[in-house]
Structure 1
Amino acid sequence: MSEFDLNGITYRIGKLSVFDQWHLSRKVAPIIPTLIPVFVKLQKSGGGNPLSRDLTGMAELITPFAEGIANMDNESSEFILSKCLGVIQRKQGDSWAPIWSSRGSVCMFDDIDLGAMIQMCFRVIKESLGPFFKGMLSGQSTPQG
């Protein structure tokens, strides 16, 4: 589990089950190739904000990713949001409260907007699937025999 702050509030990411990780990876796999140029550009920016320097260039990089999301069917996009948000908890005093009700498919906090939800989903995907995709890209996940 990892913790992060967003808009001055502390959140915690729980662990997805192996089956949820597998199904999530299948749902996001079609848009992963569109993210690679974005990650490369962000890496080359040296931790700076690439948007402050080259907005047109970043827009060109993000367009295929945005199109990938736009072309995603409702079932897949709702699955991704529900699974990712379902493992996040919010610090409430000395305890933690889930931010998402899978039963009602609803956020439990009115102050969490779609922008925050998307950021949270990216964090869950990066934490849960990052090692899987990194292994695939580097060839380390290939069995040696």
Structure 2
Amino acid sequence: MSEFDLGTDTFRIGKLNAFQQFHLSRKVAPMIPMLIPVFLKLKQSSAPVAGEDGATVSTETPLSGDLGALAELLQPFADGIAAMPDETAEFILSTCLGVVQRKQGASWFPVWNTSHNVCMFDDLDLGLMMKLSVRVITESLGPFLRGMLTGQSNPKA
């Protein structure tokens, strides 16, 4: 389980079982080709470069540069989400949020009630739910997606 702060709250992500990972990857897979240019742009814009004096300096953050270009990159992703059937979108959110817990005092409480498909906290808005879902997808499917994107360069015999 990983713990992290988001806003003023602390969350932790549990593990999706193998079948949840499989079904989630099937639902997310059509979005991956749309995200590759975004990931490449974000990686490129966050890479450090050498300044005039030879010292390493940071480049601008992805959102501080050309917003028009970033919007253009995100358009296929936004179109993909808009075209996604409601059932698929709800499956992705409920599966992801179903393994997230929020710290309240010294105790942890589930963010999502999986049997009723409802958020357990009134103050969690869609923006925060999306951030949590992306975090779950990244942690749960990250190794699989990285392997799919990079391939096996040195397969073992």
- Distance, in Å, in 1 between the alignment partners of 2:153 and 2:17 is 19
- Structure 1 residue aligned with 2:30: 30
Report the CA distance between 1:74 and its aligned residue: 0.9
Runs of 4+, deviation exceeding 2 Å: 140-145
Q: Taking structure 1 as the reference length, what is the TM-score of the superposition?
A: 0.94
Give deviations 1:51-106, integer Å, cap 9, x for gaps. Answer: 11110000000000001111111111110000000000001111110010111111
Q: Taking structure 2 as the reference length, what is the TM-score of the superposition?
A: 0.87
- Distance, in Å, in 2 between the alignment partners of 1:137 and 1:144 is 18
What SS does structure 2 have at the residue aligned with 1:45? helix
* Larger of the two Rg values belongs to structure: 2
Letter in 1 for 2:17: S
CA 56–16 in structure 1, closer or farther in 2 if over 3 Å, else same? same
- Structure 1 residue aligned with 2:55: none
In the TM superposition, 1:87-126 aligns within 5 A as: 87-126=99-138
Report the CA distance between 1:140 and its aligned residue: 2.4
Task: Give identity over the alignment, percent.
Answer: 63
Question: Contact 1:16/1:128 (CA < 8 Å) preserved in 2?
Answer: yes
- Distance, in Å, in 2 between the alignment partners of 1:131 and 1:2 is 15
What SS does structure 2 have at the residue aligned with 1:51? coil
Unpaired stretches in structure 1, ≥5 consecutive residues: none
The size of the alignment, in residue pairs, is: 145
Unpaired stretches in structure 2, ≥5 consecutive residues: 48-59
- Distance, in Å, in 2 between the alignment partners of 1:12 and 1:77 is 22
